[in-house]
Amino acid sequence: MPKKDIAIAGAGIIGLSAALDLALAGAQVTVFERGLAMHESSWAAAGMLAAGDPENPVELRALSTFSLGLYPDFLASIEHLSGKTIPILSTQTLQGAYSLPPNAHRLSAETLQALAPGLQEDGLKFYLLEEKCFDPRLLGDALVQAVKEAGVTLLEQTAVNSIESSAEMVHIYTTSGEFAADDFINASGAWASDLSPIPITPRKGQLLLACHPHLYADQHLTAAVRTPHLYLIPRAEQHVLIGATVEDAGFDKLVDPAIIQSLHEKAADLWPPARDAQVVDAWSGLRPASPDSLPVIGSLAPHHWLALGHFRNGILLAPGTARLLRQLILKERLSVDLHHFAPGRFNPKHA
């Protein structure tokens, strides 16, 4: 069988993970990236694999579990191809909730204080999740290298302007000329509606990195802490990541010092040692969101595929989404029922 030619718009974690899976399955893949690879939402993320976050919609459960299960092989394959290591920064999360989910065991005050000395429960009940977290920028560096090693052509500074699909193939019009492919995947994040008739909007997240060099080792967080309002994630060398807002601010990525200060204060109310920590960095990113906050995975037109709207969980969901796209495009059996993620759900004509 001749090699399939696949074109992808967007070199965030969704586009690059799909590129890697398809290339390893034997496809010839080209990724078009308007700016630099892994420099938008995927760069801004906190890096939690938050499959157990009680704030996640229930419809996400099967896809989250599937994607999480693929993570060890996904990371191993990226590390093998790139020769780079992706360190795991924390392996446990203290999840706070106003009511405990079934089967969750509330942590005793002693256990809580051992993992997060000083933590204020403030009406919340905390339980433990085995959940990994890593730095998405280190993952990004390694993933870019890995896709190149796997034979993917990555064209940065090349925007897709429009596409035309016919029964046989797709024409892709870019700022570097016209290309043809057997299949096209729109993985262009918060900007996806420019290329496909799907209502994806940006939801801004601001977060900050703080450093507290004067804490004794036994006063540090040894697990991430997450509540319905914010999270704190221990990072190397006495740093802690504090996030994140969810804002409807269009495509504005400006960091607002007042909002950063307010996040810092809320974090210090929850974990008082954060009060003396110095803010060393703050940034923002645009999460791609659909109207029902669920991803969009599938097609609306022949050979025109969509991998969009991963909102707060794109890092978690990347390997699962990539595998499902591969299964759709190569006509393999699907591992997850995709009806919750059908592109046609926003347009009755296509439903």
Between CA 242 and CA 226 the distance in angstroms is 10
User: In this structure, what token pair is assigned to residue 178?
Assistant: 């016209």
Q: Which is nearer to ligand FAD, 9 or 230 (CB)?
A: 9
Reduce the DSSP state of residue 118 to 3 states and report it: coil
Given a contact cutoff of 8 angstroms between Cβ atoms, the answer to whether 44 and 285 are in contact is: yes
Give, as one character, the DSSP assignment of residue 318.
H
Residue of 14, 24, 81, 198 that binds ligand FAD (CB under 6 A): 14
Of positions 52, 96, 189, 298, contacts ligand FAD by CB under 6 A: 189
* Amino acid identity for residue 253 in this structure: K
Binding region for ligand FAD (CB under 6 A) out of 77-85, 253-261, 280-288, 298-306: 280-288
One residue of 115, 139, 316, 336 binding ligand FAD per CB under 6 A: 316
Number of residues in the chain: 351
> Closest CB to ligand FAD among 26 and 197?
197
**Residues contacting residue 201 through CB under 8 Å, at least 6 positions apart:** 190, 193, 248, 288, 289
Minimum distance, C-beta of residue 321 to ligand FAD, in the bound complex (Å): 9
Closest distance between ligand FAD and the C-beta of residue 341, in Å? 13
> By CB under 6 A, is residue 93 in contact with ligand FAD?
no
The residue behind tokens 């906050």 is 293
DSSP 119-188: ---TT-EEEEEEEEEE-HHHHHHHHHHHHHHTT-EEETT--EEEEEE-SS-EEEEETTEEEEESEEEE--
> How many Å apart are CA 289 and CA 222, to the nearest integer?
32
Give the number of other Cβ atoms within 10 Å of residue 167's Cβ. Answer: 6
Q: Does 97 bind ligand FAD (CB under 6 A)?
A: no
- Tokens representing residue 195 in the block: 């290329």
By CB under 6 A, is residue 15 in contact with ligand FAD? yes
Inter-residue contact 88 to 133 (CB < 8 Å): yes
Q: Does 194 bind ligand FAD (CB under 6 A)?
A: yes
| Stretch 132-161 residues interacting with ligand FAD (CB under 6 A) | 159-160
Instruction: Give the three-class secondary structure for 106.
Output: coil
Nearer to ligand FAD, 52 or 189 (CB): 189
Closer residue to ligand FAD (CB): 74 or 191: 191
Give, as ranges, the residues between 26 and 55 that touch ligand FAD (CB under 6 A): 32-35, 39-42, 44-48, 50
26 sits in the region (left: phi over 0; alpha: psi -120 to 50; else beta) called: left
Tell me whether residue 54 or residue 118 sits nearer to ligand FAD (CB atom): 54
- Map residues 293-312 to x or -, x wherever contact with ligand FAD holds by CB under 6 A: -----------------xxx
CB of 218 to ligand FAD, least distance (A): 27
288 lines the binding site for ligand FAD (CB under 6 A): yes
Nearer to ligand FAD, 15 or 96 (CB): 15
Place of tokens 């034979």: 151
Q: Which of 7, 13, 115, 282 binds ligand FAD (CB under 6 A)?
A: 13
Q: Which residues bind ligand FAD (CB under 6 A)?
A: 9-15, 32-35, 39-42, 44-48, 50, 159-160, 187-191, 194-195, 205, 207, 243-244, 285, 287-288, 310-316
